[in-house]
C-alpha cells in the first residue's frame, strides 16, 4: 500500500510538471530595488542605493504663509524665517507655540539668506543687498545696505565674531562685525556669490557661473584666487568635512548657445539671477588673480578663463594618474557633488539628472544635500553610499541647518515650510508604495515582506490608477511578515508599511495575484485568391482590354495557355494568426458551410492544425456555390472548466466554381450571329471569338457591360468573305473557360 501511495504521488507530480501553464496562474509583483522603491513616498524613512528602506529622521513642521522659504536662522529666543512670494520675515518664538509672526514685509524678491552670530540674527534682502539684524521680532531693523543686487550667501566666521556676506552683480564679499563698518574682502566683477565656506584659513566662494574662488584670511590683502571653473554650471552650495571641501554643483545643458534645461524643478535662484544678469558667457573676469594647484600665485596678469583653468587641472591629474577633467565633468549635467581636497584633489561623489542641489550640510560621519525637482534629502556616508534620506511634499529643499555635528532642520519651497528634526516615535516612519497595476481584474494572494525588525502593513485596492472613490478603504494593520491580503479584487493595489523600531529595515516585497483569464484574440484570418483569378486580374482588378489585347492580338492565346497550364492548380491557402495575452496554449479548428446553411461542418481539427498557421483548401472537392469559412480558437487546455474562452471569426463568401460557362441559344442568320453566355456561379468577364482559326478578338456584350452571370452577344460577319468556322471562348470570374465551335452555313 505504501508503494502504491508513493507511485501515485510521483504520477501526480509528473502530471503537474507536464501540464500546461494556466492563463489564470499565480503571478507576483516584486519590489526589491532602488529604482522600484523610489517610486513610492517616504515619510520619516530613507532609501539606500542598495534598495533598503529604513527609518531616517522624524520631523515636526511649521507652515509659513509663503510660497518659498529661502533660509532660516535661530537663537535662544526663536527662529527667523526668510520668505519670498510674499517677501517677508517671519518669527517663530519658542514661547508662543511657534505661530508664525510677520516681522517685516516689503516689495521685492525676498529675504534670501539668513545667519546667526552670537545670538544675533542677520537677514539679507534682495534686491538692493540690504542687511537686517536683531535678536527678536521687536528689535529687527535695517543695519546696512551693500553694493549689489543679490544677497544669496551668509556665513558666520569660525570665531563667531562676525559674518561673511556674498553679493551679486557686482560680485563682492564683505565681512560684517557688530559695531563696525562693512569690510570689503574681494571683488568678483560680474559674478554672483551663491555660497561661502571657511577652510584652513581660506574663505571659499562659489558663484552662479560655476567659478570657485578662495581668499586668504591670514593675509586678506592678497588678491582673491580663481581656483577652478565648471562651465555651464553654478556652485550653489558648499560644506566642509574632515579637511575636504564638498561642492554642490548644478550643470545645465547648453541650448542654442545659452543655458537651457534648468532641471525639472522650478528655478528659484536661477530665474532671478538671469533676469538681472541676462545670458552672458561664463568665465572668470579679467583683473582677478588665479592660483595654480601647487598653491603658488601667478603673476598679476589677467585671470585665466575657465578653459585655461581646466587645462591646469588636466596637467595636475595627468601627473597624479587620475581622471581628466573631461572624464569627470565635461559630459555631465544635472546635480553633481564633488569632493575637493586642496590643493588639487577632486572626486565625483554623485551625479543625477533628476536632482538640483540647493544646499549641503556636513557632519563628522555624513554629508546631506537638499535637492529640488523632488524635494528630497540625500545622505552620503563616509563610504560614499547614497541614501534618499527624507522626502517632502514640497518640490525643493532650499536650506539645511544643524549644530553640534547633527542635522537639526531644513526649509522648503512650493510651499514654504520649516522642518525640525525630532525623535523617532512609532507612527512617524512609514513607506507608501507605488500603485501596482495588475493590468487585469485580479484576486490578491499572500503579501510577503522581507524585513528585519518590527513593522506593520496594510493594503488597499481599486479600479483606477490613482486612489480615489473607486478604491477600497485601508485594510486592518498586519504585523506578520506573511499574510493573506484581504483587499477586494481589483486591478490596482497599494500598500503602506509603518516601521515600529528605528532599526527596522525593508529589503523586499512579494505580492501574489491571480488574474482573470484573458480571451485569446484572432489577429488575422484570410484565404488566398483563386490562382485562376490571378491570371485574369491584377491586384484583384480586371485587366483592361487594352492590356489584354496587345497589338499582336495574341493575349487571348496567352491567357488560354496559362489557364490550361498553371491555372489547373486550384488549391488555395487559408492563413490565420491567433495570440493569447496570458501565453495560454491554443487549440484551433476550421469549419465551413454553404452561405445559406445554418450548421457548420468541420474542415480541419485541432490535431491537424496543432503546429501550423495555415491549411490548404481545395475547392475542387466542393460543389459549386458560395461558402463561409470559420476559425475557432480556444484556450480551454490552459484553464479550468468555466474559465476558458472561445473566439471565432468568419470569412466569406468564398466562391467555388469548378464548372465552365455555357454558350446557349447560338443562332446564325443573314450574317448575324447571336448567342447567350451563361454561368451558374460566377460573372462572365471575357468573351473572345475568331474566324477560321485566325487571331482571337474581343467581343463586347449588347449592353456594353460584363456585370452578370448571363450576357447576350451579337456578331456581324461580312458575307462577302467565305467564312466557315466560328470559335467562341467564354471565361468566367473564376477562370473557367469554354470554347464552342460552330460551322457557319446558311
Per-residue pLDDT band for 98 (boundaries 50, 70, 90) equals low
Residues 652 and 720 in one domain: no
Q: Which residue has the cell 480541419?
A: 604
Cβ distance 644 to 634 under 8 Å? yes
Give yes or no for residue 282 having a pLDDT over 60. Answer: no
Residues 32 and 83 in one domain: no
How would you class 371 by CB atoms within 10 Å of its CB: exposed for 0-12, middle for 13-18, buried for 19 or more? buried
Return the CATH number at 503.
2.60.120
Residues 357 and 453 in one domain: no
Give yes or no for residue 495 having a pLDDT over 70. Answer: yes
Looking at residues 143-169, what average pLDDT do you find? 89
Give yes or no for residue 664 having a pLDDT over 90. Answer: yes
7 inside domain: no
* Predicted local distance difference test score (pLDDT) of residue 555: 54
Residues 39 and 67 in one domain: no
* Predicted local distance difference test score (pLDDT) of residue 178: 83
Return the CATH number at 222.
2.130.10.10
Looking at residues 38-54, what average pLDDT do you find? 88
Closest CA to 282 of 351, 190, 214: 190
* Predicted local distance difference test score (pLDDT) of residue 248: 93
Query: What proportion of the chain, given as a percentage, has pLDDT over 90?
Result: 38
Residues 159 and 221 in one domain: yes
C-alpha cell at 88: 517677508
Query: Cα(572)–Cα(566) distance, rounded to whole angstroms?
Result: 13
Per-residue pLDDT band for 559 (boundaries 50, 70, 90) equals low
Residues 415 and 365 in one domain: yes
Task: Choose between 130 and 403: higher pLDDT.
Answer: 130
Over residues 342-391, the pLDDT tens digits come to: 876 778 888 888 788 999 999 988 999 998 877 888 888 888 888 888 88
Structural domain count, the chain? 4
Q: Which of 422, 455, 483 is the last residue of a domain?
A: 422
C-alpha cell at 334: 544635472
Per-residue pLDDT band for 584 (boundaries 50, 70, 90) equals confident
Distances (CA, A) of 186 to 27, 127, 193, 420: 66, 20, 11, 35
Residues 471 and 496 in one domain: yes
2 inside domain: no
* Predicted local distance difference test score (pLDDT) of residue 478: 95
* Predicted local distance difference test score (pLDDT) of residue 245: 92
Residues 441 and 319 in one domain: no
Query: Cα(557)–Cα(701) distance, rounded to whole angstroms?
Result: 20
How would you class 266 by CB atoms within 10 Å of its CB: exposed for 0-12, middle for 13-18, buried for 19 or more? middle
Give yes or no for residue 312 having a pLDDT over 90. Answer: no
Give yes or no for residue 294 having a pLDDT over 80. Answer: no
Q: Which of 422, 442, 476 is the last residue of a domain?
A: 422
Residues 260 and 146 in one domain: yes
Residue 737's domain comprises: 662-743
Cα 716 from chain centre: 77
Residue spans of beta strands (DSSP E) within 160-307: 163-168, 172-176, 183-187, 193-199, 202-207, 211-216, 225-229, 233-241, 244-251, 253-255, 258-260, 289-290
378 inside domain: yes
Q: Which of 374, 404, 422 is the last residue of a domain?
A: 422
5 inside domain: no
Residues 433 and 447 in one domain: yes
Return the CATH number at 709.
2.60.40.650
Cβ distance 313 to 292 under 8 Å? no
Over residues 109-138, the pLDDT tens digits come to: 899 999 999 999 999 999 889 999 999 888
Return the CATH number at 545.
2.60.40
Cβ distance 149 to 129 under 8 Å? yes
* Predicted local distance difference test score (pLDDT) of residue 728: 93
Report, in angstroms and rounded to the nearest whole number, the Rg of the chain calculated over CA atoms. Answer: 43
Per-residue pLDDT band for 108 (boundaries 50, 70, 90) equals confident
Residues 256 and 394 in one domain: yes
18 inside domain: no
Query: Cα(285)–Cα(302) distance, rounded to whole angstroms?
Result: 8
Residues 237 and 281 in one domain: yes
* Predicted local distance difference test score (pLDDT) of residue 323: 47
* Predicted local distance difference test score (pLDDT) of residue 277: 44
Collapsing DSSP states into helix, strand and coil, what is residue 69? strand
Over residues 225-269, the pLDDT tens digits come to: 888 887 778 999 999 998 899 999 988 765 443 433 333 333 445
SS (H, E, C) 546-610: HHHCCCCCCHHHHHHHHHHCHHHCCCEEEEEEEECCCCCCCEEEEEEEECCCCCCEEEECCCCCC
Give me the torsion for CA of 279, 282, 285, 288, rounded to 10°.
150
Over residues 625-635, the pLDDT tens digits come to: 999 999 999 98
Distances (CA, A) of 219 to 201, 202, 427, 525, 627: 9, 9, 54, 88, 103
Measured at the CA of 10, the angle between CA 8 and CA 11, to 5 degrees, comes to 65
Per-residue pLDDT band for 538 (boundaries 50, 70, 90) equals very low
* Predicted local distance difference test score (pLDDT) of residue 693: 87
| Residue 347, H or E segment | strand 345-352
SS (H, E, C) 608-660: CCCCCCEEEECHHHCCCEEEEEEEEEECHHHCCCCCCCEEEEEEEEEEECCCC
465 inside domain: yes
Task: Choose between 156 and 179: higher pLDDT.
Answer: 156
The β-bridge partners of 164 are 155, 175
Task: Choose between 562 and 121: higher pLDDT.
Answer: 121
Give yes or no for residue 556 having a pLDDT over 80. Answer: no
Give yes or no for residue 308 having a pLDDT over 70. Answer: no
Collapsing DSSP states into helix, strand and coil, what is residue 35? helix
402 inside domain: yes
9 inside domain: no
Query: What proportion of the chain, given as a percentage, has pLDDT over 70?
Result: 80
Give the CA diameter of the chain. Answer: 141
Give yes or no for residue 3 having a pLDDT over 60. Answer: no
Query: Cα(688)–Cα(699) distance, rounded to whole angstroms?
Result: 6
Looking at residues 737-744, what average pLDDT do you find? 89
C-alpha cell at 450: 522581507
C-alpha cell at 510: 512579494
Task: Choose between 498 and 584: higher pLDDT.
Answer: 498
Q: What is the secondary structure of 496-542 as a DSSP string? A: EEEESSTT-EEEEEEEEEEEPPPPPEEEEEEEPPPHHHHHHEETTEE
Task: Choose between 312 and 571: higher pLDDT.
Answer: 571
Q: Which residues contact 598 (CB under 8 A, 6 or more apart)?
A: none
Per-residue pLDDT band for 301 (boundaries 50, 70, 90) equals very low
Closest CA to 387 of 377, 398, 395, 379: 379
* Predicted local distance difference test score (pLDDT) of residue 134: 92
Amino acid at each position: 500500500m505504501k508503494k502504491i501511495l508513493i507511485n501515485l504521488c510521483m504520477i501526480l507530480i509528473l502530471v503537474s510538471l507536464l501540464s500546461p501553464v494556466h492563463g489564470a496562474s499565480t503571478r507576483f509583483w516584486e519590489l526589491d530595488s532602488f529604482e522600484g522603491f523610489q517610486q513610492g513616498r517616504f515619510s520619516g524613512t530613507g532609501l539606500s542605493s542598495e534598495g533598503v528602506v529604513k527609518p531616517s529622521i522624524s520631523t515636526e513642521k511649521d507652515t509659513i504663509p509663503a510660497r518659498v522659504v529661502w533660509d532660516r536662522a535661530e537663537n535662544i529666543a526663536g527662529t527667523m524665517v526668510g520668505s519670498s512670494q510674499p517677501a517677508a520675515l517671519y518669527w517663530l518664538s519658542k514661547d508662543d507655540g511657534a505661530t508664525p509672526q510677520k516681522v517685516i514685509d516689503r516689495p521685492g524678491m525676498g529675504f534670501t539668506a539668513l545667519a546667526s552670530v552670537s545670538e544675533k540674527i542677520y537677514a539679507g534682502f534682495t534686491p538692493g543687498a540690504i542687511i537686517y539684524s536683531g535678536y527678536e521680532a521687536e528689535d529687527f531693523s535695517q543695519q546696512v545696505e551693500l553694493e549689489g543686487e543679490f544677497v544669496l550667501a551668509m556665513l558666520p566666521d569660525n570665531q563667531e565674531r562676525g559674518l561673511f556676506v556674498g553679493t551679486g552683480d557686482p560680485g563682492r564679499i564683505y565681512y560684517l562685525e557688530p559695531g563696525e563698518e562693512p569690510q570689503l574682502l574681494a571683488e568678483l566683477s560680474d559674478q554672483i556669490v551663491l555660497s561661502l565656506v571657511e577652510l584652513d584659513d581660506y574663505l571659499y566662494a562659489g558663484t552662479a557661473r560655476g567659478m570657485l574662488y578662495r581668499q586668504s584670511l591670514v593675509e586678506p590683502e592678497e588678491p582673491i584666487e580663481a581656483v577652478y571653473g565648471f562651465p555651464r554650471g553654478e556652485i550653489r552650495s558648499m560644506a566642509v568635512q574632515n579637511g575636504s571641501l564638498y561642492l554642490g554643483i548644478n550643470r545645465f545643458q547648453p541650448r542654442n548657445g545659452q543655458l537651457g534645461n534648468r532641471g525639472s524643478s522650478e528655478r528659484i535662484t536661477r530665474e532671478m539671477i538671469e533676469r538681472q544678469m541676462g545670458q552672458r558667457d561664463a568665465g572668470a573676469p579679467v583683473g582677478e588673480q588665479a592660483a595654480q594647484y601647487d598653491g603658488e600665485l601667478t603673476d598679476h596678469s589677467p585671470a585665466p578663463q575657465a578653459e585655461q583653468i581646466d587645462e591646469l587641472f588636466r596637467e595636475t591629474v595627468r601627473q597624479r594618474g587620475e581622471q581628466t577633467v573631461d572624464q569627470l565633468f565635461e559630459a555631465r549635467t544635472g546635480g553633481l557633488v564633488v569632493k575637493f581636497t586642496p590643493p588639487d584633489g577632486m572626486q565625483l561623489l554623485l551625479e543625477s539628472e533628476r536632482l538640483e542641489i540647493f544646499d549641503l550640510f556636513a557632519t563628522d560621519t555624513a554629508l546631506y544635500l537638499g535637492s529640488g525637482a523632488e524635494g528630497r534629502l540625500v545622505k552620503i556616508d563616509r563610504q560614499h553610499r547614497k541614501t534618499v534620506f527624507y522626502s517632502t511634499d514640497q518640490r525643493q529643499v532650499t536650506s539645511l541647518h544643524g549644530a553640534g555635528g547633527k542635522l537639526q532642520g531644513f526649509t522648503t519651497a512650493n510651499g514654504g515650510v520649516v522642518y525640525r528634526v525630532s525623535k523617532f516615535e512609532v507612527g512617524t516612519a512609514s513607506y507608501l508604495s507605488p500603485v501596482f497595476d495588475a493590468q487585469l481584474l485580479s484576486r490578491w494572494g499572500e503579501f510577503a515582506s522581507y524585513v528585519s525588525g518590527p513593522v506593520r502593513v496594510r493594503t488597499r485596492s481599486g479600479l483606477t490608477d490613482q486612489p480615489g472613490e473607486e478604491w477600497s478603504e485601508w485594510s486592518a494593520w498586519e504585523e506578520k511578515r506573511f499574510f493573506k491580503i484581504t483587499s477586494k479584487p481589483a486591478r490596482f493595489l497599494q500598500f503602506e508599511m509603518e516601521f515600529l523600531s528605528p532599526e527596522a529595515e525593508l529589503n523586499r516585497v512579494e505580492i501574489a495575484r491571480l488574474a482573470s483569464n484573458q480571451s485569446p484574440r484572432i489577429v488575422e484570418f484570410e484565404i488566398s485568391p483563386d490562382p485562376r483569378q490571378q491570371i485574369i486580374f491584377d491586384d484583384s482588378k480586371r485587366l483592361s482590354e487594352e492590356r489584354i489585347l496587345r497589338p499582336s492580338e495574341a493575349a487571348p492565346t496567352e491567357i488560354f495557355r496559362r489557364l490550361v497550364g498553371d491555372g489547373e492548380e486550384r488549391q488555395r491557402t487559408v492563413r490565420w494568426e491567433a495570440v493569447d495575452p496570458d501565453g495560454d496554449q491554443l487549440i484551433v479548428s476550421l469549419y465551413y458551410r454553404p452561405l445559406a446553411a445554418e450548421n457548420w461542418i468541420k474542415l480541419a481539427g485541432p490535431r491537424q492544425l496543432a503546429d501550423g498557421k495555415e491549411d490548404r483548401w481545395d475547392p475542387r472537392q466542393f460543389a459549386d456555390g458560395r461558402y463561409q469559412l470559420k476559425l475557432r480558437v480556444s484556450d480551454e487546455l490552459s484553464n479550468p472548466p468555466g474559465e476558458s474562452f472561445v473566439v471565432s471569426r468568419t470569412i466569406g463568401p468564398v466562391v467555388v466554381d469548378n464548372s465552365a460557362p455555357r454558350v446557349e441559344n447560338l443562332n446564325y442568320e443573314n450574317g448575324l450571329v447571336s448567342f447567350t453566355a451563361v454561368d451558374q456561379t460566377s460573372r462572365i468577364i471575357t468573351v473572345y471569338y475568331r474566324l477560321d482559326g485566325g487571331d482571337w478578338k474581343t467581343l463586347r456584350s449588347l449592353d456594353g457591360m460584363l456585370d452578370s452571370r448571363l450576357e447576350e452577344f451579337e456578331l456581324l460577319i461580312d458575307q462577302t468573305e467565305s467564312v466557315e468556322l466560328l470559335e467562341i471562348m467564354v471565361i468566367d470570374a473564376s477562370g473557367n473557360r469554354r470554347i464552342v465551335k460552330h460551322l457557319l452555313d446558311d
